Amino acid sequence: MAKQNIFDNEIFFEGYKKIRDNEVNANNLFEIPALRSLLPDFKGKRILDLGCGFGEHCMEYVKEGADKVVGIDISKKMLEVAKKENSDPKITYILMPMEDIGQIEEKFDIVISSLAFHYIDDFGGVIKNIHDLLEEGGIFVFSQEHPLSTCHRDGERWTRDEEGNKVHLNIKGYALERENGSTWFVDDVKRYHRTFSTIVNTLIDSGFIIDKMLEPVADEEILSKYPQYKDLFHKPDFLLVRSTRR
């Protein structure tokens, strides 16, 4: 089965980059701080970053003392930016689908993935390979789109009042695990929906201990500046998990 590589689509890439270049976005306000709160000390560690994108995180890990960082991404365009803007002798970037990481012949202390797993079909296979690539006691931290987001397929996502305010989320087919096509800059962006139980049980069955899970929402400070994020109390955008290799 061909691996999805939507980020090398020029229209998608430019649209996505414009969002990430804007400092006020959900990634910067919620996902990145939550991810950082789950990460261990990097000093002297070997780190594998899956879906490394532009490489900003890889550079941060080196600055915080990592001995070695390997960044994997399927997108040539992403890695071109990473090598240009976030290059360091301790960082190696590899053009590779995440599903092929079983080909890597070395071990890591920490594996990290930010907002990539909802783009892959073979979640179980990737998790098994991550377990094999980690040293015993190694840490695995990842974020993904929230399952209440990935289950959306068609129709209106929100029920709104007469003024257009979001009243509640419309949920349909949550227990049906499937590929969902969506339009985001371009048509037919594939996301894969999995339930909470599948995510957690896949980790446990692959040999991980779940340490912590987060579903970040807006605090009072953020709401005072960006009141539109109150909709996160109906549906968090992100799910984050930290686990340890047994």
- Structure confidence by residue, pLDDT tens digits, 157-203: 999 999 999 999 999 999 999 998 765 555 567 889 999 999 999 99
118 and 150 Cβ atoms separated by less than 8 Å:
yes
For 53-89, write each residue's pLDDT tens digit.
Answer: 999 999 999 999 999 999 999 999 989 999 999 999 9
CA separation, residue 146 to residues 48, 116, 237 (Å): 23, 12, 5
Mean pLDDT within 125-146: 98
- pLDDT confidence bin for 136, thresholds 50/70/90: very high
Mean pLDDT within 9-19: 61
Amino acid at 219: D
112 three-class SS = strand
Percent of the chain exceeding pLDDT 70 equals 88
The class of domain 6-147+193-245 in CATH terms is alpha beta
Burial of 223 (0-12, 13-18, 19+ CB in 10 A): middle
In angstroms, rounded to a whole number, what is the distance separating the alpha carbons of residues 175 and 42? 38
- pLDDT confidence bin for 8, thresholds 50/70/90: low
Percent of the chain exceeding pLDDT 90 equals 81
- For the chain, the domains span 6-147+193-245
Residue with tokens 């799910």: 239
Mean pLDDT within 130-134: 98
Specify the pLDDT at position 7. Answer: 57
Mean pLDDT within 2-27: 64
Specify the pLDDT at position 190. Answer: 83
- pLDDT confidence bin for 106, thresholds 50/70/90: very high
Can you give the pTM of this predicted structure? Answer: 0.90
Q: Pairing relation of β-strands 68-73 and 91-95?
A: parallel
Specify the pLDDT at position 139. Answer: 98
Mean pLDDT within 10-30: 71
